[in-house]
Structures are given as structure tokens and as C-alpha cells.
Chain A
Amino acid sequence: MLRFIAQRLLLLPVLLFLFSVVVFILVEAPPGDFLTSYMATLASGGSSIETEQLEALKQQFGLDQPIHIQYLRWMESLSKGDLGLSLEYQRPNIDLIGERLWLTIALALFAFFITWIIAIPAGIYSATHQNSLLDYVLTVLNYIGVATPNFLLALILMWVAYAQFNVSITGLFSSDYIQAPWSVARVIDLLQHIWLPAIVLGIGGTARLTRIMRANLLDELHKPYVVTARAKGLSEWKVVLKYPVRLAINPLVSTIGWYLPQLFSGSLIVATVMSLQNVGPLLLRALTQQDMYLAGSILLIYCFLTIIGTLISDVLLAIVDPRIRMEGA
């Protein structure tokens, strides 16, 4: 087990290197660079910039160098743990991403827990009460949940809250706390706001997970080992929870890995609609402004989280399923 984790961790730098090349090429791909779009913005605002100033900026960021030199310079600073300066904001990228990243992770984790806390019991109920009234109701709700885009749900909820209760439910903080430094009060304020976007983000996943759990469990419920457990004299709910539910959940554990990064990236539209201060809108703006080191850093962090997520789910899978654990040994 430890060897397995160590192997994976050794692979991490290699994977990150490969990803960094791909990310850099992608970010560089659009024609022009940050300064062309920067000048276009200035020009549309009626002002302009001195040629010397432009040259100075170019040199400062190395934009006058050939592309592979630019990449090497980026790598050099990355290897020192320096994510570079944002071209647009003229601030260290690490500061820009920092706070938003924690908010993004908090939001994703909330959405994730809401998904599992609702989906697993609902799936178990549906499967053990197949064709009951509540099973039908849950099935219909699942169809709706799967079919509704989450930004639409966000819009509907925002409208209902505004029209009916006259409250605005956008953002992760109330206006007093947006710029405030971290404090207990700010955390409480965050908790008061985070659940709604978390539900919006989690609803589609909840519906999907419920359906998968129901289907998996229905498969397992007819397996001979369930008859064996029942024939022992165990009570029905003990039979179901100890044996088939356990086996039905096992394959779901492997989805955790790709589920987390999906929540990060999937939150872009919702974050824009609900004006959440997470990484999504920052990435969007960085990409449209060709703020390439900022965009590159964010994308690289996504890649890192994806790899870590996959590692976590592989480890979890090995923990819950002895067949996989022993295969690796």
C-alpha cells in the first residue's frame, strides 16, 4: 500500500511537467499577447501608452523572447515555487489565486458532501423499495435533476428569493465581509452563504449518483451472498447495509477522484451567474485578457488537484475493496 502511494507520488512531477507543456501551448495558442489586448482596451478607453513604456513592459515579462525561452523562464520561477506576476493586475498570481482557491475548495467539498449525504440514502431507499410511490417520486426528481443545467437552477433560485423574499442570495459573503480579513465572524458569514451555491452545484451530481446507487444496489440485492446473509437470521436492514450496500458503494468510490476537479471547473458558469468569488471567473478573465501566467498557473493547479484526486480515490478503493488491495500487493 505504502509502496503504491510512493510510486504514484514519484510519478507526480513527471505528469505535472507534461501538463505544464500542454497548458503553456494552450495558453499561448491564441494570436497576439497580453499587451495587444491591453492596448486595445486602453485605445477603446480613449487613452494610449508610450512606446518606451510598452517596450519596458515587454522586457519585464519577457514577451519579446522566443516562445521556448518564455516557457523556460516560467518553469524556472515555478520550480522556485513562484507562480509569477499577473500581467493585468500587476500582483503576484499566488495572492490572486490564494484566497479564491480556498473558497473554491470549500465550495466543492460542501457540494460533494451534500451530494453523498443525499444520494446514498436515497439510492438505498429506491432500490430496497423498488416500484414504491416514493421510488417513483425520486426517479422523477432524478430525471429533473440530471436534465436541469445548474446555472438555470441558480437563476431560478435567485429569482424566487428576490421576488418572494426580497433577498439577494448571490455571493459567498454578505457585503460587510467581502473585503474583510479572516475572522470567526467571516467564517460564520461564509457558512451562511455557502450552502445555497453548494446545493446548486451538487444537485446534478446528486441526481446522477442516486441513479447509479439505485442501479448498483438493485444488481447486488439479487446476488447469492444476500440470500446467505438473510438465511443466517440477520435482520433485513443489517443484511442490506452490511453486504449489498457495501458492494454497491465500492465502485462509486473511484468516481471521487474525477468528481472533485469536475466541481472546480463546472462551477464557472454558476460562479459567474451567482457572482461567487472563486477561481472560475478569475480563470475566465485571465484567458480572455491573455494574462497567460495567471491562466497557466490556475490550469496547472487544476491538473495537480486532478492527479491528487485520482490518487485519493485509488487509495480509498484499495482500502474498501480487499480484491484490489491484494492485487497490488
Chain B
Amino acid sequence: MNNSTPILSVRDLKVHFPLDEGTVKAVDGVTFDVYAGQVFGIVGESGCGKSVTMKAVLRIVEPPGKIVAGEIILRRSVAGANGSQMDDLINLTALDASGRVMRSIRGAEIALIPQEPMASFSPVHTIGDQIIEAIMLHQAVNQREARKIALQMLKDVGIPIPDQRLDEYSWQLSGGLRQRAIIAMALSCNPRVLIADEPTTAVDVTTQAQVLRLLRRLQQDRNAAIIFITHDLGVIAQMADYVMVMYLGLVMEQGPVDEIFHAPKHPYTQALLRSIPTITMTPRENLPTITGSIPHPFNKPRGCPFHPRCEKSIAGKCDQAVPPLRRIGANQMVSCFLYE
């Protein structure tokens, strides 16, 4: 398999939560491609649908949430007739979410580093129990071999005295170690797509740097794709090859990291970048903020969701329809009427 065809393609994905108070359109038409060996960054304010998009990819959206439209295509290579490798496209939205095929993909081909490392291990099962369980689920090994693999995983992510750690409980580990253990578990079955949902929000800056280096190294060693979710544009600049900017369930803009940071097209991306402090700023200067606040998910504005807060919104246009995601430049795409 080469790196020029996407390993994961999401097309016009919509995930809605029908609640008594109304429907939350958590994800409302998201399209992107992820390639092997790439770090795919996703940024956006809290509640814009980053985690729900990833849960949809794994088909673990909690009820009453439902995928109401769109496709999620995973490319796998299978052995062909004459020993050659053949590509096999599989549409995850068409699978039974709790069926055997989906379960063999979940955790094995696509793995998740969950958003809250502190609470992501069960407190009454040992770390080892939980990692070994994942290994034995997807690999034909016995308990002893699985333990060996788990031990090696803990070593790989840099956990000291791994033998002892395997028999400890998550609350006996420091935040940094717990984060590493979570990463070890996600990597234990050699996934080709690794989803890291804000893997560094709960740890201090030093640990954050270590975790980021670790993810980078693992990704290069294994040629995996990493989908990296964060609020932190600094982390994105450091980690990502390609960036997608989301707002209220929609993609505003996506492109290579250099384009996004040096030639942002969408007014929302521009506003986001203005709101991070730079080294050249005079001290105590007020940071520009985005005016207005994020609308409530039940009454999303008509048209482009960002138009009420947008300085460049075009009356009679932006408040009428959602602009389609259009290609602009080689690898960059933007959803804005300014670029019609």
C-alpha cells in the first residue's frame, strides 16, 4: 500500500442526537481524508463535534446519537490471489456497529487514545488486565504471550519497571504514566489509524512534550496515521502535517499545516490565529478575541454557522445557505462564500 491513497476517507458525515429538547446536529457534514504516515490535526472550540466525529469512525456513538448520513471508508490491504497485496475498501457506516467485522476493526485497525486519561482505565482492574484483554481480543496468543507483548508495549512507551506496573491499578500511577499506559494499550494491536483525542490536556507541559515526542516516534516507526485532536494551536503547529478546522459540526477549512498557519483563508481560522499570543507582542497587550459566543447547539444559525460572529459576512448570502467545501490551492479546501 502506498501513501498516496487515503487510508481513511470520511464523506459528508452527519451525526445527530435527537433529544427531547430538539435535535443536536453534533456533526453536520464533515469530509476529510487521512493518509498513512500522516499526522492529521483537528482543531476547533469545545463542542464543535471533534470527539463525536471520531466516535462515529469507531462506530461507538452513544445512543440516541446516530449517523444519519455519509460514508466512512477504510482502506485495508488483503492478500491477493498470486501473493500480491490488494486494496479492499470497506464502508464502516454500512456495517453493523456491534457486529463481528466492526469489532475486528475497532481496537485493531483503528485505535483510540481517549480524551480523559485519568478516567479511561477501570479503577478496579489492573492495567495489565486491561491491556492483555485488548491483545488477546485481536491476536491469536495465549495469556502468557499476551503479557509479554503488554510488557514490551509499556517498555516502548517509556514506562519504568513495567513488570510491576502491569499489576498495578491506574490510580497508583502518576498522570504522565497513566497517559503512557493508555497510549501503550491503544498501540498494543498495531493499529494503522490512531485517534488521539486531546492526549495532552490532562498533563503538565514537560509530560506533554514527552508524550508528543513519543507519538511522533511511534508514528514514524510504524508508518501509522495519527488523527490528533486538540484545542491547542501550538501543539498542532508542532505535531500536524495537515490540519482541519471545525466549527459547530462543520469543516471550515483544511490544508497543510504551513498553509493554515501562514495563509489561512477562512475568517474563522484567521480569527483563531489572531487569538494566540506571539513572542513579538508587547506585554499586557489585550489579545484580540473572536466577538460573540458559540451559539447553543439547539438553535444553530441558518446558513454558515460562523456568520453571526464573522467580520466579513455577506448579508443575504452567508445567512441563507451553507457554503460548500471547495478546493482552493493544491491541498487546501475552504467552506466560505468569499472564495466563490
A16-24, A223-231, A259-267, A282-290: which lies at the interface = A223-231
CB < 8 Å A-B pair total: 78
Of the candidates A223, A234, A235, which one forms a contact with B119 in the assembled complex, judged by CB atoms under 8 Å apart? A223
A80 proximal to B (CB < 8 A): no
B interface residues, how many (CB within 8 angstroms) = 33
Give the 8 A-B CB pairs with smallest separation, nearest first.
Answer: A233-B107, A233-B106, A232-B107, A231-B112, A224-B119, A233-B103, A224-B116, A232-B134
A243 proximal to B (CB < 8 A): yes
CB proximity to B under 8 Å, residues A219-250: 222-225, 227-236, 242-243, 246-247, 250
* A228 and B120 contacting across the interface, CB-CB below 8 Å: yes
B111 proximal to A (CB < 8 A): yes
B58 proximal to A (CB < 8 A): yes
* B114 and A232 contacting across the interface, CB-CB below 8 Å: no
Q: Name the prevailing secondary structure of the B interface residues.
A: mixed
Assembled-state Cα–Cα distance A231/B104 (Å): 11
Contacts A232-B134, A234-B137, A235-B98: A225 and B121 contacting too (C-beta < 8 A)? yes
A interface residues, how many (CB within 8 angstroms) = 24
A68 proximal to B (CB < 8 A): no
Assembled-state Cα–Cα distance A319/B289 (Å): 53
* A243 and B122 contacting across the interface, CB-CB below 8 Å: yes
Assembled-state Cα–Cα distance A242/B111 (Å): 20
Of the candidates A224, A228, A235, A321, which one forms a contact with B124 in the assembled complex, judged by CB atoms under 8 Å apart? A321
CB proximity to B under 8 Å, residues A282-329: 320-323, 326
Contacts A224-B114, A227-B114, A231-B111: A236 and B98 contacting too (C-beta < 8 A)? yes
* A231 and B124 contacting across the interface, CB-CB below 8 Å: no
**In the assembled complex, which residues on chain A have CB atoms less than 8 Å from the CB atom of B125?**
242-243
Min Cβ gap B172→A in Å is 8
Assembled-state Cα–Cα distance A224/B120 (Å): 5
Contacts A224-B114, A323-B171: A233 and B124 contacting too (C-beta < 8 A)? no
Assembled-state Cα–Cα distance A7/B98 (Å): 49
* A323 and B60 contacting across the interface, CB-CB below 8 Å: no
**In the assembled complex, which residues on chain B have CB atoms less than 8 Å from the CB atom of A242?**
125
Min Cβ gap A232→B in Å is 4
Assembled-state Cα–Cα distance A232/B184 (Å): 12
Assembled-state Cα–Cα distance A235/B171 (Å): 26
Contacts A231-B58, A231-B114, A233-B106: A225 and B119 contacting too (C-beta < 8 A)? yes
Assembled-state Cα–Cα distance A229/B112 (Å): 10
* A234 and B103 contacting across the interface, CB-CB below 8 Å: yes
B18 proximal to A (CB < 8 A): no
**In the assembled complex, which residues on chain B have CB atoms less than 8 Å from the CB atom of A231?**
58, 60, 106-107, 111-112, 114
